[in-house]
Amino acid sequence: MLDTNISEILDHISTQFNRYFSILIFLFGTIGNLLNCLVLSRPSLRSNPCTFYFLISSIANIISITSGLPSRILSGWNMDITNTNAFLCKIRAFIMFVSRSIAFWLVAFAAIDRWLLSSNQRQRRQFSSLKNAQQGTIAIIILSSCLYCQVLYCYDANMISAPLHCYGKTIVCRLVTDLTYALVTILCPLLIMCIFGLMTLSNIRRIHSHRLSESELNETKENNRKSLKSTNLQTRKRKRIDRHLSHVLFIQIIFSTILTIPQVIEKLYTTLTMNQMKSSLNITIDEFIYNFVLLLTYLASGMPFYIYTLSGGNTFRNGLMELFKTK
């Protein structure tokens, strides 16, 4: 009797989350990422390779949210047609997985770009370019699409013994998809973000501690006095943008880690306990946790605009205000 009551309570809470929390994430996430695209595509920002990564990542987040969250919202009223239509189930899952993989890997590439730009070696800094960012983005789109092409076969509708009715149809399919998502789409990009983020901080500290000798400084001033007068303002502006982008990136890495690691843990747990016999209460608890951590990942996809606005300094806020004035 107690188990039944607990199961009913968890089912009710999960339904309310899908109905209302999903709508909130959908609205704020879609609007925020659209504003991101408009601000980051402005002439003063779009030539920066890190900004380009953020721009395409925001587009991928929009696709991820619009392809995944409507089914969560409709499931709260038992109206999700992807639960019963195999074609829509496969297409929705494929688009959602690919777009989320693209979004995460591009932020990881942005972390690498910040490390390259902060290096004291000129050859490394030259790798930080818009052309390389565009080529890297194309490569990620192609690889992500190839990585999840198996979803078009593996996913099917009307699944009974699964966290969702639209899910992998065999144990092997679930194992491949879940591990690919947990390790390749989430964990690997997060590790790259953290590693290169720490390396960037190390480079920044090294740059700040480095001082030119008096003779080198005088020689530089003498030889470049005229050129410095004409380029000093532009250089300071570019450095300010780079500094704000680095700060935004570090904040985004922290929030992405907090909001997506729970799903990685849940995926690994599900994989390890796949063949264990579970009571109805344990199954309900697993489904509740699955739904909750799934919504957290959508929250991570919807937060970049608010992170950029609050922690991006005047660079992003000024671009936003100019956008509103223009409109």
Residues in CB range of 192: below 8 A, 6 or more apart: 108, 111, 112
Cβ-proximal residues to 184 (8 Å cutoff; 6+ apart), any chain: 101, 147
Going by C-alpha positions, the residue among 302, 316, 321 that lies closest to residue 244 is 316
Please list, in sequence order, all residues whose beta carbon lies within 8 angstroms of the beta carbon of residue 117, skipping any fewer than 6 positions away: 50, 125, 128, 242
Percent of the chain at pLDDT above 70? Answer: 88
This prediction has a pTM of 0.87
- What whole-number distance in Å separates Cα of residue 255 and Cα of residue 311? 12
Lowest mean per-residue pLDDT among 3-12, 95-104, 294-303: 3-12
Largest CA distance in the chain: 86
Fold assignment, 1-210+237-325? Rhopdopsin 7-helix transmembrane proteins (1.20.1070)
* Confidence band, pLDDT 50/70/90 cuts, at residue 290: very high
User: What pLDDT sits at residue 204?
Assistant: 81
- Which structure tokens are listed for 303? 């937060």
Q: How many CB atoms lie within 10 A of CB 93?
A: 25
Q: What are 126's two structure tokens?
A: 């030259």
% of the chain with per-residue pLDDT over 90: 54
In order of 13, 99, 109, 128, 196, the CA distances from 106 in angstroms are 34, 11, 5, 14, 13
Cα-only R_g, the chain = 23
What integer pLDDT is reported at residue 217 of this predicted model? 47
User: What are the extents of the domains in the chain?
Assistant: 1-210+237-325
**β-strand pairing of 155-156 with 167-168:** antiparallel
Q: Which amino acid does the sequence have at 19?
A: R
